[in-house]
Amino acid sequence: MAIAHADRRRQPSAAEPVALKLLVAGGFGVGKTTLVGTVSEIRPLRTEEALSEAGRPVDDLAGVEGKRTTTVAMDFGRITLREDLVLYLFGTPGQDRFWFLWDELAQGALGAVVLADTRRLEDCFAAVDYFERRGIPFAVAVNCFDGAQLHAPDVVTEALDLDPGVPVVLCDARERESAKQVLIAVVEHAAAVAAGRRAPAAT
C-alpha cells in the first residue's frame, strides 16, 4: 500500500496575539483585587490571607473597616482587549512590608494602574513615586467608593502633583466596562510614551 507523503507546505495561520504585562498597584484596601477579578476572563489567581490581630498595628483599616483579607503576594488575571492584544494583570500587595515583591512583579511591565481612593489619597503616593522613578508609564484610576466625595480628574492631578499627560480616570472597580476603560487608558498612554521615546530628538 502506498504511503501518502505529508504536505510539507505550511498553512497560513493567524498571527499570535501580542501579550502585554500590566501592574495594578495602590494602597491597602483600594480595590486592586476587585479590579483584577472584575475584568479577568479566567478565574483570577489570588494570594489572600485573613487579616489577623497581629497585623492590626501595621495595617491601617481607616476607611476600610469592613476589610477581612489582604493580598500577600499578588493577584493575577488575563483579559483579551482585541483579537490581537492580550493583557496579563498583576496586582501588587498594598502594605509596606510586602513592597520587596514589587521589583519582581515590575520586570517586563508595559505600564501600570495606580488605584486611588480620594478619602485616603496619600496611600497611593508610594506607588506613583515608584513608577515615576523607574520610568514605567502609568495611569491613576480613582476608585469611586459608595459615599465618597467625587473629585474631578484635574483636582486629583494637582493633589498628586502628576506630570503632564499622566491620565487620571474615574472608575468603579466592581464594574467590568469601567475597569476595562482604565486598562485601555493605560495601554494607550504607554504606547504614546513608547512612541515619544523612539522619536528622534529635534535638532
pLDDT for 203: 52
The backbone torsions φ and ψ at residue 195, rounded to the nearest 5 degrees and listed phi first, read -65, -40
pLDDT for 93: 85
Residues in the chain where the model's pLDDT stays below 50: 1-13, 49, 51-57, 59, 61, 64, 67, 71-72
Q: How many domains does the chain have?
A: 1
If one counts every other C-beta atom within 10 angstroms of the C-beta of residue 21, the result is 16
- 203, part of any domain: no
Q: Which of 22, 86, 74 is nearest to 45 (CA)?
A: 74
Q: Terminal CA-to-CA distance of the chain, rounded, Å?
A: 73
pLDDT for 202: 55
- 6, part of any domain: no
If one counts every other C-beta atom within 10 angstroms of the C-beta of residue 187, the result is 20
Contact partners, residue 77, CB within 8 Å, separation at least 6: 36, 37, 39, 40, 41, 42, 44, 45, 88, 89, 91
- 86, part of any domain: yes
SS3 100: helix
Domain, as residue range, for 113: 18-198
- 1, part of any domain: no
pLDDT for 96: 63
Q: 132-148, pLDDT tens digit by residue?
A: 999 999 999 999 999 88
- 42, part of any domain: yes
pLDDT for 18: 92
pTM equals 0.78
**C-alpha cell belonging to residue 124:** 497611593
Q: Are 81 and 41 in contact (CB under 8 A)?
A: no
Q: Are 22 and 81 in contact (CB under 8 A)?
A: no
- 143, part of any domain: yes
Contact partners, residue 28, CB within 8 Å, separation at least 6: 59, 60, 64, 70, 94, 95, 123
CATH code, domain carrying 110: 3.40.50.300
Buried b (16+ CB within 10 A) or exposed e, 23-32: bbbbbbbbbb
- 2, part of any domain: no
> Phi-psi category of 165—alpha, beta or left, where left has phi over 0 and alpha has psi -120 to 50?
left
d(CA 32, CA 112): 12
